[in-house]
Amino acid sequence: MPKAFDPQAVEAGWYARWEADRLFVADPASDREKFALAFPPPNITGELHMGHALQTAVYDLLARYRRMTGYEVLFLPGYDHAAIATQNVIEKQLAREGATKEELGREKFDARVNAWYEQVGATIINQLRLLGASMDWTRLRFTMDSRYYRSVMTAFVVFYEKGWIYRAPRIVNWCPHDRSAISDLEVEWREHQDTLYFIRYPVKGGGEVTIATVRPETMLADTGVAVNPSDPRYRDLVGHTAILPLVGRELPIVADEAVEKDFGTGALKVTPGHDALDYEIGQRHGLEIIDSMNLDGSMHVPGLPYDGMLALEARNKIVDELKAQDLIVKEEPYVHQVGHCDRCGFVIEPLISEQWWLRMEEMRDKALAASQAGEVRWHPERYERTYLDWLRGLRDWNIGRQLWLGHRVPVYRCENGHQIVAVDPPSECSECGGTPLTQDPDVLDTWFSSALWPYATLGWPDETEDLEAFYPTDINCTAREIINLWVSRMIMTGLEFMGEVPFADIAIHCIVQAADGRRMSKSLGTGIDPRDLISKYGADALRAWATSVAMSSQDVRFDESRVEGYRRFCNKLWNATRLVLSSPGYETAATPGTFEAREHLEDRWILSRLSAAARDITDGIEGFTFQDSINAAYGFTWNEFCDWYLEAVKERLRDGDVAAQDVAHFCLDNLFRLLHPFMPFVTEELWSRLPGDRDYLMRTEWPTQLGRFLDPGAEEEFQDVMTIVEEVRGHRQNSGAPPRGGQIHLEGGVSHTVANLAARLAHLELVHTLDKGTPLAAADGKVSFPAGARDAKRDKEIKKLESDLARIQAKLANSNFVSKAPQEVVDETQQRADALEAAITRLKLE
């Protein structure tokens, strides 16, 4: 067995073996209880980043844990076509080549996209394998594969037949770059420093009204002026008509509650064609809608000199002309939020467009009712509110996109104007039999298809065996930024189509930031490729780190040294195993179990500690506090099993002591099981090196029967041992004594077992009389302290203990404390005081 743990060498073979033996493949016909995870399909826009690695580690931990606890587990992988995002990726590639998708043409563009899907899909799968994700590859899904496509079409048709899908012109968020509408959730708000212009609009019949705007170019499409009805400044103007400068259009002056009296001048220019609020005001007052913008964001004002200009260009020219006419009252610097397309970054232009809409009321209400009924549990709980608040304010969803990439809307029209909505493309018009039919050019919002993920991947709308066995799935774990975009929509459509929430538990994991606190991103150069970390520290180390931070209440800054720490942890496990394996005769010690005798204190102690660790690790997983699991496993392994137990039994192991072998073996065996979900590779490897004929660790049982080893008496006694050993080491160090040698004197109260073990661990000779020799040591005043070892550090320690004691005694002297605090707290405090007094006495002894 190599002296050092080498992740590369260990990891290489296991994944292939697990997979070849079909350990990841779920059986819907199994008698076992089912546990299903539909892995959030990564966008097929590029390679997986740290966030994906973290998420994968969490999912796989749950999958492996559930397999070991007896469930039939389905861990279903896949990826998402991510229409708008992928289209942007390809367009950027084309731009670098000096081309555009229009030049390329639709067919070649599609071919290019498919090639990209193949390439990136393969990379993603490879990364997931490197991470050790125990996914059922026989069920790999893609949101654009033919079966999934059919699910999406079916959902559309069902919604349509319910009357929930309709087409209507409305103000939408228009991305001039993508030439598509996007939903409110895809708008990213960024702070802009702009200028607020105060512009004078003359009023017909005399007077004027001054409005404030940051977008003077939109005035070309103004069709009204609005003021608040309760604003005394403008009361007399309501009902009058303003004249639009530069254009001459007559603008009715209306009163509307939506106008803020305190903003600007309190008078608002109304541009129903290019502002959401103005649109609503316009609707209420029957104002005309004028469209002054082309779909590429340029001005569409035929007959005016601004026609065809870019918005900003037009703005400058308009401001110049208004100034020339002395219509600008003033300009103020103004900081505000401006919407951008979250995929391409272009400034969003609100404009009127005819779009496909999905009514959400009924689905929203069902989702709210499900939460009310406790069918959805959030971890941490606070995210439930984020979700519910958003749901309550939900409006109709714009599901149409004017992109090249995505699921085409299944709506067809014949030459006679009939409209057919069908899952499969009809060959002729169902009303007049006419041909040819043309399909609606729109595609669906990529989130429309993602919303079906938990059941479309299982075969819906067909009543498949998988759907029957594995729906609902059990847990969804994602970043909070897609709670509204994705999680909420899965819940709504899941309730609608399947009648049940798609998962009962939702865990929100943290976001990994770069070490300096910035966002991890490729473009900023702050991203880290998980594969680099895997090759440096191993997948196990990366996973252990990921699960240790995943459920953090705040986002975490990436700290590479922590990943490195977990690699060292793997090495520690490795070497602990090596030590045990080197015990003579151990190879043939096939049947553990003789430790039941448990005559040694250290054996009883470590089994008790193992039992506690198993409990803490299990509780952490069940309670979505994975960091507690990792910490318990780490602490047990390093600070208890290695630092104390193995040190205590080294000689016994060297002598081939069967009880020591059995106990050590039992600890390792259970520890590997307990760590397997977190660090699957190294644990599987070490497990395979233990003697005996072994099946895969991956499919052994989770330890659940260790409670019987809890042994408070042994823990207390061993605590005495540790205290003595630590005191001896401390004083040795302070007095410059060599690390070994010297004697320990046994006094009255100390059990022979404790003294003996302490002597062994501290490398002392145990003697039974006080007058023999000079050194040493200690515990609870039961062992005398030798003369001649007094030093400055000891004085300092005495001082510290004395001040601690003074504080505690003051507490005990407080009658309020004694009378009001619970008796056990008072008792405990008294015990601490006694212990401190004893320690001081001991240290002062000469």
Partner RNA sequence: GGGCGGCUAGCUCAGCUGGGAGAGCGCCAGCUUGACAUGCUGGAGGUCGGGGGUUCGAAACCCUCGCCGCCCACCA
- Contacts with RNA in 74-93 (CB under 7 A)? none
Q: What residues from 487 to 546 belong to the interface with RNA (CB under 7 A)?
A: 513, 515, 517, 519
Residue whose CB is less far from RNA, 310 or 722: 722
x/- letters, 720..739, toward RNA (CB under 7 A): ------x--xx--xx----x
Question: Of 571, 611, 618, 683, which one interacts with RNA (CB under 7 A)?
Answer: 571
Q: CA distances (Å), 126 to each of 114, 120, 323, 350, in order?
A: 18, 10, 62, 42
Is residue 798 part of the contact set for RNA (CB under 7 A)?
no
Q: What residues from 364 to 383 belong to the interface with RNA (CB under 7 A)?
A: 382
The structure tokens listed for 685 are 């490897």
How many whole angstroms separate alpha carbon 472 and alpha carbon 483?
18
- The interface region with RNA, picked from 85-93, 159-167, 560-568, 665-673 by CB under 7 A, is 560-568
Classified as helix, coil or strand, 490 is helix
Question: Of 44, 58, 175, 268, which one interacts with RNA (CB under 7 A)?
Answer: 268
> Least distance in Å: CB of 686 to RNA?
12
> Least distance in Å: CB of 224 to RNA?
13
Beta strands in 422-466 (DSSP E): 438-439, 443-444
- The interface region with RNA, picked from 82-90, 152-160, 276-284, 673-681 by CB under 7 A, is 276-284
Closest to 10 in 3D by CA, of 496, 687, 632: 687
- The interface region with RNA, picked from 89-97, 456-464, 622-630, 687-695 by CB under 7 A, is 622-630
Is residue 404 part of the contact set for RNA (CB under 7 A)?
no
* 281: enclosing H helix or E strand: helix 276-285
Residue whose CB is less far from RNA, 676 or 731: 731
Is residue 572 part of the contact set for RNA (CB under 7 A)?
yes
Using DSSP bridges, classify how beta strands 397-398 and 377-379 pair: parallel, antiparallel or unpaired: unpaired
Is residue 193 part of the contact set for RNA (CB under 7 A)?
no
Residue whose CB is less far from RNA, 483 or 698: 483
- The interface region with RNA, picked from 60-68, 158-166, 259-267, 448-456 by CB under 7 A, is 259-267
The structure tokens listed for 77 are 């992988």
Is residue 413 part of the contact set for RNA (CB under 7 A)?
no
Classified as helix, coil or strand, 297 is coil
How many whole angstroms separate alpha carbon 748 and alpha carbon 744?
13
Residue whose CB is less far from RNA, 204 or 284: 284
Q: List all residues 6 or more positions away from 497 whose beta carbon is below 8 Å from its beta carbon.
A: 155, 158, 452, 455, 460, 461
Residue whose CB is less far from RNA, 120 or 633: 633
Closest to 610 in 3D by CA, of 698, 705, 719: 705
Q: What residues from 799 to 828 belong to the interface with RNA (CB under 7 A)?
A: 804, 814, 816-817, 820-822, 825, 828
- With the CA atoms of 492, 497, 498 and 500 taken in that order, what torsion angle do they form, in degrees rounded to the nearest 10? 20
Unique residue bearing structure tokens 């644990």: 683
How many whole angstroms separate alpha carbon 704 and alpha carbon 614?
8
x/- letters, 310..349, toward RNA (CB under 7 A): --------------------------xx------------
> Least distance in Å: CB of 733 to RNA?
4
x/- letters, 208..227, toward RNA (CB under 7 A): ---xxxxx------------
Is residue 273 part of the contact set for RNA (CB under 7 A)?
no
Is residue 765 part of the contact set for RNA (CB under 7 A)?
no
Residue whose CB is less far from RNA, 250 or 559: 559
Question: Of 145, 280, 440, 834, which one interacts with RNA (CB under 7 A)?
Answer: 280
Contact (CB, 8 A) for 350 and 276: yes
Q: What residues from 628 to 647 belong to the interface with RNA (CB under 7 A)?
A: 628, 631, 634, 638, 642-643, 646-647
Residue whose CB is less far from RNA, 3 or 96: 3
Number of residues that bind RNA (CB under 7 A): 94
The DSSP string of 516-554 is TSSBP-TTTT----HHHHHHHH-HHHHHHHHHHHTT-SS
> Least distance in Å: CB of 497 to RNA?
25
Contact (CB, 8 A) for 460 and 470: no
Q: What residues from 128 to 187 belong to the interface with RNA (CB under 7 A)?
A: 184-185
Question: Of 78, 245, 252, 264, which one interacts with RNA (CB under 7 A)?
Answer: 264
Is residue 835 part of the contact set for RNA (CB under 7 A)?
yes
Contact (CB, 8 A) for 698 and 14: no
Amino acid at 512: V
> Least distance in Å: CB of 226 to RNA?
8
Is residue 484 part of the contact set for RNA (CB under 7 A)?
yes
How many whole angstroms separate alpha carbon 518 and alpha carbon 529?
16
Amino acid at 653: L
- The interface region with RNA, picked from 156-164, 446-454, 568-576, 687-695 by CB under 7 A, is 568-576
Q: CA distances (Å), 217 to each of 212, 252, 292, 315, 498, in order?
A: 12, 19, 9, 5, 49
